[in-house]
Chains A and B, each alone.
Chain A
Amino acid sequence: MRCHQRMKMIALLLMLVLLVVLSIHWMTHYLWLSFGVVITAVLVFLVRFETKVIEAREIVLLAVLAAIAAVSRIPFASIPSVQPTTFVIMMAGFVFGAESGLIVGIVAALASNMVLGQGPWTPWQMLAWGLVGLTAGLLRKRSFMKKTWGKVLFALAWGFLFGWIMNIWGLLAFAGADGFTDLTIFIPYFLGSAVFDMMHAVSNVFFFLVFGGLWLNILQRFKTKYGLLDKCKGDSS
């Protein structure tokens, strides 16, 4: 079984290298190849997740966090572009580490779209929310992230980054089959989304300032009480 997973991993990594080589060869098709890289990268993380031995308690905890992140969109349906999903994933990353954050982000995106309907945006949401959890886990040991302003900045930055990643699939439609002829066309596109990104960013910061400390305490307490997902602590710093 292990060996099997290693083979898959090697195959996927080879595919990543192949895609990068191809993108140098076919410069004009870089957007398509970047789409391929996104999907392959997500698959690489999934294969890595398969190789880990995970306790029943831990897998249920991850599922609960992902489900809360997905469901938490519901009470906010009346406010456009404001949803605590990003906040929940960020908290998961801060407390349970980079890999757990990544998995919670990926599963939350995939599962909520299984309920709401899949679309061309699904892989991008998986990537964007996965990266929110991953970076939260990777940066949590840095000195600036221990302070409130560091986390506020982080939450603010992800409001915009999330929007930009999501814009890429819109760009794919713009570009059609042959790259871009004119880059200025994206300025209005990004400006248009900036309003929504701003709302996302501000709501992230708002949620963090009002609830961040409390949530971190709740999750941290839960983690120490049951000794869950502790081994992630070592490999994320």
Chain B
Amino acid sequence: MIQRFQAFHPAVCFFYYAGSVTVLMLLQHPVALLAALLLIVVINAVHDRCKGLRQWLVMIIVTGFFLLILNPLFNERGQHVLFVLFDHRITLEAVIKGGMSALTIIAVFAVFVSYNEVMTPNKLLYLFAKFFPQFAVLLMLTLRFIPLMKRRLADISAVQQSKGVYVSGGNWRERAKNGLLYVQVLLTYSLEEAIQTADSMKAREYGSSTRSTYEHFRMKGIDIIAFLLLGFFLAVSIAGRMQGHLYLTVYPVMDSLTLTGTETVYLTAFLIYLSFPLLAEGGGMIRWRLLK
């Protein structure tokens, strides 16, 4: 568990994930992408021993593989021909470009796996409620209705099945028709209930004045320090990318794959940014030891 990182203010966590995805999408260098991907996998491993990542594994591999092979298949440009397949030139450039696309998407997926673990819906809702209170109420109501409707749908399907209306059997036409019939029963059922819910909200003075809210998360000194640190390293990484570093020119002539000195500096800045959850965890552990 990355408990230290989870304890930060939601805005810090959100900033971290938004920044990581942005830089990952901007980077265009196999070495940098590979290093970033490894780091993200380590974060996932520390977090939940890659449990979340394993659930998405099939989708991640399929998408990555698809991106990796599609580019060489439809792109013949490049000077280094690896081999010729049915009169089609497979070039090193195309393979590297496809590989970079695949690495980017895999890394972004892996970041989202970690995001779903750390940014629980209540944290996102908290951030929303700051800026869009009315929308947050709507979202909260919807989130509350989803499990309720699932239960109602189960009730409905039990009743309908006793009448011989199934979604599990029959041809597609029948299944689709019966499926939407369930949803229609759910609609009429829920619409009437909605009026009751609304009246009860009204009875408790909904919308009569602005309200104070319970602040579950507080911005502490350490959150501000985290913000500054993250902001600094993110700015350095983006500035490096703006100057054309960490960008592998593939066409017309491919650059060397090795990183130059300045590129290593910028890559280190980005890797420090990415490893923030690990650093926070490590720092917390050291402090714990010292205090003990």
Contact = CB atoms under 8 A, between A and B. Distances in A.
Contacts of B210: 1
Given A57-B195, A71-B153, A185 B115 contact: no
A120 B112 contact: yes
B212 interface: no
B149 A68 contact: yes
Q: Is the interface of B mostly helix, strand, loop or mixed?
A: helix
Interface string B182-223: 111011101101110111011000110010000000000000
Interface in A42-59: 46-47, 49-50, 52-59
Contact of B190 (A32, A68, A182, A214): A68
B142 A67 contact: yes
Contact of B180 (A47, A70, A84): A84
Contacts of B75: 181-182, 185
The number of chain B residues touching the other chain, given as a range, is 35 or more
Interface string B114-137: 011001010010000001111101
B257 interface: no
A173 B105 contact: yes
Given A68-B183, A82-B176, A206-B176, A188 B70 contact: yes
Interface in A35-84: 46-47, 49-50, 52-64, 66-68, 70-72, 74-76, 78-79, 82, 84
A207 interface: yes
Interface of B: 21, 25-28, 67, 70-71, 74-75, 77, 97, 100-101, 104-105, 108-109, 112, 115-116, 119, 121, 124, 131-135, 137-139, 141-143, 145-146, 148-150, 153, 157, 167-168, 172-173, 175-177, 179-184, 186-188, 190-191, 193-195, 197-199, 201-202, 206-207, 210, 247, 251
24 contacts: A49-B135, A50-B132, A50-B133, A50-B134, A52-B134, A56-B202, A57-B199, A59-B134, A67-B146, A68-B187, A70-B142, A71-B150, A75-B183, A78-B167, A79-B172, A79-B176, A84-B183, A114-B124, A174-B70, A181-B75, A185-B70, A189-B70, A203-B176, A218-B187
Interface of A: 1, 8, 32, 46-47, 49-50, 52-64, 66-68, 70-72, 74-76, 78-79, 82, 84, 87-88, 103, 107-108, 110-112, 114-115, 117-120, 172-174, 176-178, 181-182, 184-185, 188-189, 203, 206-207, 210-211, 214-215, 218, 222, 226
